[in-house]
Structure 1
Amino acid sequence: MDEPSSQCTEDNIPKFGMSFVSENDLRELYRLYAQSMGFGVRKLGTRNGPDGKQKFFSIGCAKCGSFTPRGKNIFQLRPSTKTDCKARINIVVRNDFDFKISSIILQHNHPLSPSNSRHIRSHKLKLEEARRSRLGNGDAEAVSHYFSQMQNKCLNFHYTFDLDEDSRMRNVFWADARCRASYDYFSDVMTFDTTYLTNHYDILFAPFVGVNHHGQSILLGCGLLSSEDVASFT
């Protein structure tokens, strides 16, 4: 549980004495290490000097600390994921371009899950940013053109896009005439699974699958998703 997994390399394991020219570089190394090991990360604390500038801070496991109930009704308290984990790195800021790891704890007091890293909040945001950046304007135009051609050939072909603030394609849904006809007859049972596979853009492929009167799986529609949040699912 405490040793680096096979996904870890010497390049992304934080070590005592390591120096970085920016906080972002240091945080990214620790995030990549945490992602390969299977735990979430967050900034734990900071201390400023007399000049008001940051002189010290810590980054550690997201399960650090202990749960302190704040509500009066104990039956309405939400379960806590905190385990008072001590895994962290402490950083001394010597100047604007010198961030040095002054001490480090790699041991955790809870199981790690590298295979579920993409579901951890601190890594999920980075994955979503990467997916959105990989599907650029040229790709979006190509997909739009292809779907438009399909719709000209078959009026029952349906598709819809979800664009981000930069007008880049974020989520896509489509269903051809056969899928739509199957849905009319066999929509009583339907599955929607975003863990099926990802393509070379690392965008989630989400098929809508039903069951016909022979007990066979049938395709009812398809989606490509850049994230796994309520808005994208909707």
Structure 2
Amino acid sequence: MTEKGKEISEYVDEIVPLESDNEDVVDIMNIAGDDRICASKDVCGIWKINKVHLDHNHKTSPSKSRLYRCNRELSAHVKRRLEVNDMTGIPLHKSFNSIVVEVGGYENLSCIEKDCRNYVEKVRRLRLGQGDGSALQSYFSKMQAQCSGFYFSIDLDEICV
């Protein structure tokens, strides 16, 4: 553990130079320390992969592939539910738990709570607050006064002012 409470990984991905018996091989590298990939560079500077171990050093679980970032997404229904609950003041963890119950468990959900939290924060940043519309209009008016080529057109209703 570090001072900030984060764990330090015991796996070190590094490139380790090795000794070579062959005169034609200029450089041999062992990548990732566990002989998972071993490569060499010849006198022409061309790299060649000598050895690759594709075995995992841990058990794999295909059912957990939904947790990979590339496989996670928020559906339109979940996004709308999060937005409505956020506007009404319902805490995010309660909104997330209601979604989990609705879909029948965590394994049936295509996202994690962090994805929901990031989405809600993004929506909050983009939402205009009280007086933001008039502040934006006054800023654009000032810019137009400074530069004759600057043009803007905003139609504000009573809610944004």
Query: One fold, TM greater than 0.5?
Result: no
TM-score by length of structure 1 reads 0.23
Larger radius of gyration: 2
When you count helix as a share of all residues, which structure comes out higher? Answer: 2
TM-score by length of structure 2 reads 0.31
**Greater RCO, CA 8 A, separation 6+:** 1
When you count strand as a share of all residues, which structure comes out higher? Answer: 1
